[in-house]
Chain A
Amino acid sequence: MTARGEMDVMGDDIEHAVVGLVRALRGAGLPVGIEQSESFAQALAWVDPMVRREVYLAARATLVSRREDLAVFDEIFAAFFGGPRVPKAQATPLAPRHDRSAFVRTALVAYMAERPEPNAREVEVPEQDKAASGLELLQRKDFSNCTPAELDAIARAMRELRFDVTLRISRRLVRARRGGRLDLARIVRAAARRGGTVVALARRRRKLRHRPLVVLADISGSMELYTRIVLQFLHGVTQHHARTETFVFGTRLTRITGQLQIRQVDAALAHAAREIVDFAGGTRIADCLHAFDRLHARRVLGPGAVVLIISDGWETGDPARLDAQMRRLAERAHRVVWLNPLLGRPGYAPEVRGMAAALAYVDDFLPIHDLRSLQALAVGLGRIPRRKGARSPWRVRGSLGHPRTPIVHAIHPAHAHPAFPGRRGEP
C-alpha cells in the first residue's frame, strides 16, 4: 500500500478532485453519470482519502460500469493523479481507427471513391415507365455486370424490399383474446368488479419476438464487384430490422452495426468506411469467424438467431479450421444462411477451398447476384421455420433454384452431417 501524504490533491480539495476525475473519464468516453460521481464522493467518506490505493479502488468500484472501460480507467486515473503508470501490456488494444494508417482499405474504399456526390443521385429522377421497364431488365442482371447507374437503380429498388425475419415464440406471456392459458389475475379482477360472477375467461399467450439477425459480409478483394450492393443491403437490413448486428470481414472482422444505424445511406457507409481496416487481398474466413465467436457471439447470438454470411467462400487460410468454426457457429445459431454471389453463375459448383468445407454446416445456400435473388431472400427470411434444421423455406426448384447444382439438396444438415448433434429441433 502507498504511504500517506502522497496524494496532496485529495487532501486539499476532495470535491475538486472528484469533479476533475469524472470529467477526464467522460472525456475518454466512459459513461459516468451524476449518480456515479455522487457515489464516488460518498465512497470517499468510507476510505482513507490520503492513500492513493484506497482512492483508486473506491473510484474504480463506483465510476466504472463496464469491463472494457477498466483499462481506460486505469490510464486516466494514473494520468490524473500522477504516480506509476499502468504497464502498457495490460491496456486493451485501442479501437482500430487509431492504427489505421498502417493498413490499406480495400473494396469499400474503392466503392467510396467512385461514389457520386451524395446529393447527385437524388436529383436525377428517371421517368416512371422507363425506370420500370429498366428494372424489369435489371431483375436478372448479375451485379458484377452492372454499370454504376444500374447499381443505383437496383439499390433504390432494394429499398422497397422488406427483409422481415420470422418471429420466434418467447417464453414471456402477454394478454390475448383467445388461446393460450387462463389469465387468473384478470379473471379475478373482472369478477370482483361484477360482484363475484365470472363472466368471461381472460387469457394469455406466448409473446412473439423478433429473432436476432446477424450479418457477416465478406468485403475482401474477390468480392469487390459485389461489395457496393452488399453494403447497400447491409444498410437496408440494419435499418429495417431492429435486432440486426452487422459485421464485415476480409482478413479481420469489424463490427459496423453502429455506423449503419445512421439513416442516411451515404453518411452511414462513410462512417462505416472509417471503421474498416483491412489488408488488401486474402480472406481469412475462419479467423474472422473465430474472432466473432470469441468477441461477439455470446452477446449477439441470442435465442433463435439467424446468421447470414455473404461470401464467395474463397478462404486463404486452413479449410480444416473453417470446418471447426462453422460447426461452432451452426451450434449456436438457429439458422445459418450462406449467400454466395458466384452461385448465380451457371455451372458454378462450390469447389473452392473453404466453401466446400463450410457447406456441411449451412442450412441454406443461396445466390445473391441479382435483384431477383434479393427478392427471393426477402421472401424466404419471412418463412424461416420454427424448428432448427428444418427444410429450407427457399424452394429447391422454381424461380430461384439452379437445377444443375445439387447443392440445395446436399445441404440439409440432418442428412449432410449425421454425426453433428447441434441440429436438433428446438422449441
Chain B
Amino acid sequence: MLAPPSSRQVLAEQLAAHGYLVDDALAMSVFLALRMQRPLFLEGAPGVGKTLLAGVLAELFETRLIRLSCYEGLELSQAAYEWNYPRQLLALQAHTHSQASEVPPPRAATPAGGATAMIDELYREAFLLKRPLLQAIDAALGRAPVLLIDEIDRADEEFESFLLELLGEFQITIPELGTLKARHRPIIVLTSNRTRDVHDALKRRCLYHWIDYPTLATEVEIVRRKVPGLAAHLRHHVVAFVQRLRREDLSKLPGIAETVDWAEALSHLGSTVLEPATVDATLGLLLKYHDDIEQVRGDRVVQLLVESA
C-alpha cells in the first residue's frame, strides 16, 4: 500500500492486518499524522508498542525504516551528517603534493584564492557521510521512508533543537553545503518513555499521543494472534491476570511484550489452567525487578488469580 488511508477505520484495519491493533484514538492520531504530514510524538510506559508502530508503518507503506536510537551525548555528527575527515585529509594531502611538484606560484596569490577553492573542493556531497536524519530526507530515495527517532528523552536537551528544523520544515541545513530539503516527506515517529519532559517547541511541531496499556479485549486479541497455541480460556485468564497486575503498586509494570512472552511460556509448559505454583515459577517473565517479584510471589499471586479469574 502506498497511498495514505482514506479514513482512520481503514488505517486501523490495515494496521491490524499487519498484526498491530489500535484503539480509535491512536488510529486517529496516526491517520492525521499521515494525512497532514506531521511527525507523530508517542509517549507512554515502556512496552506499550511505541517503537513497534514505526516498524509496522514501514511494512504497511512498503518502505524503509530508518531508526535513530537516542542516547546521552548524541550529536549531529552521529544523528544527521558528518564530513568524511580521512578522505578530506587525503584530498588535502594530494592537493599539497600536486602544488609542490608544480612551479611555486607568486607568494601573494596562494592564500586567499587557493583557500576558497580548497574549501569548495573539500565540502562536496562526495565527502558527506549521511547519518539517519539526513538519510531520511535524502533525495535519492524513491519514496518516503519511515524515520523512527527512538527514546528522544534520552538525548540531551541540546539535541532537541537540532531536530526542530527537520520536524517543522523537513529539511536540514548544512553550513558548508546549504539546505537539503526532502523531496518525499518522511513519516516521522518520535517516542519517549518520559524520563524527562521534552521541550514544548518540539512537541508543537508534532501530533502528540499518549499510548496507554491496551484494554482487556485488545490484549486478548494480541495474545491470540501472537500465541495461537494457547487455549482460549487460559488466554483470557492470562491477560486478565496481567491487567490486574498492572493495578498493583510495582516499580515496573509488565508491558504487552511481557504478556506475550508469558503466554508463550505457558503454552510451552502445556498449562491448561493458571496454577499459583506455575505463576510463581514464571513470574520473572512478567516482572523485571527483584523487589516486584518478592512483593507479588506467593499469597498475593493466589489472591490476584482469584480476582482475575
Residues in A lying within 8 Å of B, measured CB to CB: 31, 33, 35-36, 39, 42-43, 46-47, 53-54, 57-58, 60-62, 64-67, 70, 170-173, 184-185, 187-189, 191-198, 290, 293-294, 298-299, 302-303, 324, 327-328
- List the A residue with the shortest CB-CB distance to B4: A46
Mask: chain B, 108-119; 1 = CB below 8 Å from A; 0 = not = 001100110011
Does B28 have its Cβ within 8 Å of any Cβ on chain A?
A: yes
Q: Is the CB of B196 within 8 A of A172?
A: no
Specify which of B36, B118, B195, B210 is in contact with A46 (CB 8 Å cutoff): B36
Question: Bound complex: CA of A302 vs CA of B36, how far in Å?
Answer: 35
Tell me, rounded to whole Å, the shortest Cβ–Cβ distance linking B23 to chain A. Answer: 10
Q: Is the CB of B75 within 8 A of A173?
A: yes
Question: Bound complex: CA of A298 vs CA of B88, how far in Å?
Answer: 44
Q: Is the CB of A61 within 8 A of B195?
A: no
Q: Can you report 16 A-B residue pairs in the complex whose CB atoms are below 8 A from each other?
A: A39-B38, A57-B8, A57-B25, A61-B29, A65-B204, A65-B208, A70-B210, A171-B72, A172-B73, A172-B156, A184-B89, A187-B85, A188-B85, A195-B115, A195-B118, A196-B99
Residues of chain B from 72 to 105 with CB closer than 8 A to chain A in the complex: 72-73, 75, 77, 82-83, 85, 88-89, 92-93, 95-96, 99
Question: Bound complex: CA of A196 vs CA of B208, how far in Å?
Answer: 49
Query: Which residue, of B28, B38, B197, B207, has the highest number of chain A Cβ atoms within 10 A?
Result: B28
Q: Which residues on the A side are within 8 Å of B93 (C-beta)?
A: 196
Question: Bound complex: CA of A195 vs CA of B122, how far in Å?
Answer: 11
Q: Is the CB of B85 within 8 A of A185?
A: yes
Q: Which residues on the B side are within 8 Å of A61 (C-beta)?
A: 25, 28-29, 32, 207-209
Question: Bound complex: CA of A189 vs CA of B122, how far in Å?
Answer: 9
Q: Which residues on the A side are within 8 Å of B196 (C-beta)?
A: 299, 302
- List the B residue with the shortest CB-CB distance to A195: B114
- 9 further A-B contacts with Cβ under 8 Å, apart from A47-B28, A188-B89, A197-B96, are A33-B204, A35-B204, A61-B208, A61-B209, A62-B207, A171-B73, A185-B82, A189-B119, A294-B249
Q: A195-B99, A195-B115, A196-B92 are in contact. Are A303 and B72 (CB under 8 A)?
A: yes
Q: Which residues on the B side are within 8 Å of A67 (C-beta)?
A: 43, 194, 210
Q: Which residues on the B side are within 8 Å of A58 (C-beta)?
A: 28, 32
Specify which of A60, A184, A298, A303 is in contact with B28 (CB 8 Å cutoff): A60
Q: Is the CB of B115 within 8 A of A194?
A: yes
Q: Which residues on the B side are within 8 Å of A302 (C-beta)?
A: 195-196
Question: Bound complex: CA of A46 vs CA of B34, how far in Å?
Answer: 11
Tell me, rounded to whole Å, the shortest Cβ–Cβ distance linking B120 to chain A. Answer: 9
Q: Is the CB of B111 within 8 A of A195?
A: yes
- List the A residue with the shortest CB-CB distance to B156: A172
Does B262 have its Cβ within 8 Å of any Cβ on chain A?
A: no
Tell me, rounded to whole Å, the shortest Cβ–Cβ distance linking B159 to chain A. Answer: 9
Query: Which residue, of A46, A303, A327, has the highest number of chain B Cβ atoms within 10 A?
Result: A46
Question: Bound complex: CA of A62 vs CA of B32, how far in Å?
Answer: 9
Question: Bound complex: CA of A142 vs CA of B93, how far in Å?
Answer: 72
Q: A66-B208, A192-B92, A196-B95 are in contact. Are A39 and B75 (CB under 8 A)?
A: no
Residues of chain B from 139 to 198 with CB closer than 8 A to chain A in the complex: 156, 158, 194-197
Q: A61-B207, A67-B210, A302-B196 are in contact. Are A193 and B115 (CB under 8 A)?
A: yes
Q: Is the CB of B43 within 8 A of A39?
A: no
Q: A33-B204, A42-B36, A196-B93 are in contact. Are A328 and B115 (CB under 8 A)?
A: no
Question: Bound complex: CA of A60 vs CA of B82, how far in Å?
Answer: 39
Question: Bound complex: CA of A328 vs CA of B291, how far in Å?
Answer: 9
Does B251 have its Cβ within 8 Å of any Cβ on chain A?
A: yes
Interface SS of chain A: helix
Q: A299-B195, A299-B196 are in contact. Are A196 and B207 (CB under 8 A)?
A: no
Question: Bound complex: CA of A188 vs CA of B122, how far in Å?
Answer: 9
Q: Which residues on the B side are within 8 Å of A54 (C-beta)?
A: 28
Residues of chain B from 1 to 41 with CB closer than 8 A to chain A in the complex: 8, 24-25, 28-29, 31-32, 35-36, 38, 41
Q: Which residues on the B side are within 8 Å of A188 (C-beta)?
A: 83, 85, 88-89, 92, 122
Q: Is the CB of A46 within 8 A of B119?
A: no
Question: Bound complex: CA of A47 vs CA of B35, how far in Å?
Answer: 11
Tell me, rounded to whole Å, the shortest Cβ–Cβ distance linking B9 to chain A. Answer: 10
Q: Is the CB of B72 within 8 A of A184?
A: no
Closest 4 CB pairs of A and B: A171-B73, A184-B85, A57-B28, A196-B96
Specify which of A31, A46, A65, A328 is in contact with B251 (CB 8 Å cutoff): A328
Question: Bound complex: CA of A290 vs CA of B291, how far in Å?
Answer: 14
Q: Is the CB of B208 within 8 A of A43?
A: no
Q: Is the CB of A43 within 8 A of B36?
A: yes
Tell me, rounded to whole Å, the shortest Cβ–Cβ distance linking B278 to chain A. Answer: 27
Does B131 have its Cβ within 8 Å of any Cβ on chain A?
A: no
Specify which of A184, A185, A298 is in contact with B194 (CB 8 Å cutoff): A298
Tell me, rounded to whole Å, the shortest Cβ–Cβ distance linking A51 to chain B. Answer: 11
Q: Which residues on the A side are within 8 Å of B36 (C-beta)?
A: 39, 42-43, 46
Mask: chain B, 51-73; 1 = CB below 8 Å from A; 0 = not = 00000000000000000000111
Question: Bound complex: CA of A138 vs CA of B155, how far in Å?
Answer: 47
Residues of chain B from 217 to 259 with CB closer than 8 A to chain A in the complex: 249, 251
Question: Bound complex: CA of A281 vs CA of B211, how far in Å?
Answer: 40
Q: Which residues on the B side are within 8 Å of A193 (C-beta)?
A: 115, 118-119
Q: Is the CB of A170 within 8 A of B72?
A: yes
- List the A residue with the shortest CB-CB distance to B120: A192
Question: Bound complex: CA of A65 vs CA of B92, how far in Å?
Answer: 50
Residues of chain B from 112 to 136 with CB closer than 8 A to chain A in the complex: 114-115, 118-119, 122
Does B297 have its Cβ within 8 Å of any Cβ on chain A?
A: no
Q: Is the CB of A172 within 8 A of B72?
A: yes
Q: Which residues on the A side are within 8 Å of B111 (C-beta)?
A: 194-195
Question: Bound complex: CA of A66 vs CA of B99, how far in Å?
Answer: 61
Q: Is the CB of B31 within 8 A of A46?
A: yes
Question: Bound complex: CA of A293 vs CA of B197, how far in Å?
Answer: 16
Q: Which residues on the A side are within 8 Å of B115 (C-beta)?
A: 192-195
Tell me, rounded to whole Å, the shortest Cβ–Cβ distance linking B232 to chain A. Answer: 28
- List the B residue with the shortest CB-CB distance to A299: B196
Tell me, rounded to whole Å, the shortest Cβ–Cβ distance linking B248 to chain A. Answer: 12
Q: Is the CB of A46 within 8 A of B72?
A: no
Question: Bound complex: CA of A53 vs CA of B7, how far in Å?
Answer: 14
Tell me, rounded to whole Å, the shortest Cβ–Cβ distance linking A13 to chain B. Answer: 22
Question: Bound complex: CA of A203 vs CA of B148, how far in Å?
Answer: 32
Does B307 have its Cβ within 8 Å of any Cβ on chain A?
A: no
- List the B residue with the shortest CB-CB distance to A197: B96
